[in-house]
Amino acid sequence: MKTKLIFDVIIVGGGLAGLTSAIHLSKLKKKVLLVEKNEYPKHKVCGEYISNEVLPYFNSLGIHPIREGAKKITKVHITTTKSKLIKGELPLGGFGMSRYFLDDLLVDKACMNGVQVLKETVEAIHFKKDAFIVTTKNSKLFQSKIVIGAFGKRSILDQKMKRKFFQKKSNYLAVKTHVKGVFPENLVALHNFEGGYCGVSKVENNAINLCYITEYKMFKKHKTITDFQNQVVFRNEFLRKLFKETTPIFEKPLSISQISFQTKAPVEEHIIMCGDTAGMIHPLCGNGMGMAISSARLASIRILQFLNGEIKTREALEKQYIKEWNKEFKIRLMTGHFIAWLFRNQIISQIVYSILKRIPSLLTKIIKFTHGKKLPPI
């Protein structure tokens, strides 16, 4: 029989949520294994804007994005599919930092804290006799009291677990590139086009992140990304100007498909789900990264209480996490779906534009529904 290495917590997936949980738990002296199939650092398809709600918490973990070169963001511009511009202020503000840079920053901190980071693919997670056995592709076995699922938007593990959302067709894809050019450092822009939207913001080293998401049925009518951009995306005059007047940094754009906004369960098969694995807010709300970090904090706090005996049973841990996850994020997710619907419909989006032009303060109130309050330090 193979020897099993034993940990307090095993985290499957090393994105924002997984890395944040690893840092939090290891800072408070728990033995943590983080299993991630990809190398660090790595560019990912992501909007790369994060709300300042996470800063007090991040700083308490020893993570200081602004000090490391993140761009401070205070303003938001939104355009309709007809290129009508709405301007607003971000209630808390935010910052822009690439996933390439931020994930690398986080994994360095996790390793400094003593987290064991393993580049492997997890094949199976089994729960038996109040403990988890995690098996990797190379047949390594690990045991823990807790497993955190942070394996992203859509994983083979979701399929193996027969999660309900995985059975439903995913009808979105996303494309991202970095470019050089002129764009305000303090601005995040959300430009709508037929069937999708594009987020724009600066990140470290003065790169501009362009990341758009679209319905697959719109994209498949065109042969290539270039054709789709020329014939659909560039109907928005702001996007046409941005793409035409900037210089690509990437050799070619990154893309991902089968993005799902279906409802997911925060706990399944006793695994505590975090980040996109627990639920995705529509990218038009621009706060998926903040939500991932916030969910990691929530999970880490309750897991620590369970491991330290303050929460007495696994059942109590799971019930409390589900209740608090829904309280923290359910309205955000519902608002995200509603906002995306408003701007996807050309007639309704023009009505929304007219209302927001007359009452600009409404935009700030809408943004508040998709963001949380500042997270307290640990």
Count of the separate structural domains present in the chain: 1
Identity (one letter) of the amino acid at 65? P
In a domain, 203, yes or no: no
The domain spanning residue 299 has which CATH number?
A: 3.50.50.60
pLDDT at residue number 13 = 97
Q: Is 240 a member of any domain?
A: no
Contact 342, 349 (CB under 8 A): yes
Distance from the Cα of residue 102 to its chain's centroid: 12
Q: pTM value?
A: 0.93
Tell me what pLDDT residue 310 has: 98
Asked if residue 238 belongs to a domain, the reply is no
Ranges of the chain whose pLDDT falls below 70: 1-3, 281-286, 342-346
CB 166 within 8 A of CB 159: yes
pLDDT of residue 29: 97
Domain hosting 26: range is: 5-169+260-370
N-term to C-term CA, the chain? 41
- The per-residue pLDDT for range 34-47, each reduced to its tens digit, is 999 999 999 999 99
Cα–Cα distances (Å) from 157 to 123, 171, 210, 335, in that order, read 7, 20, 30, 28
pLDDT, tens digit, 9 for 90 and up, residues 200-233? 999 999 999 999 999 888 899 998 999 999 999 9
pLDDT at 99: 96
In a domain, 324, yes or no: yes
Does residue 194 form part of some domain? Answer: no
**Is 232 contained in some domain?**
no
pLDDT in tens, 1-16: 466 799 999 999 999 9
The span from the CA of 153 to the CA of 290, in Å, is: 15
Does 378 fall in a domain? no
Residue 105 pLDDT: 97
Residue 357 lies in a domain: yes
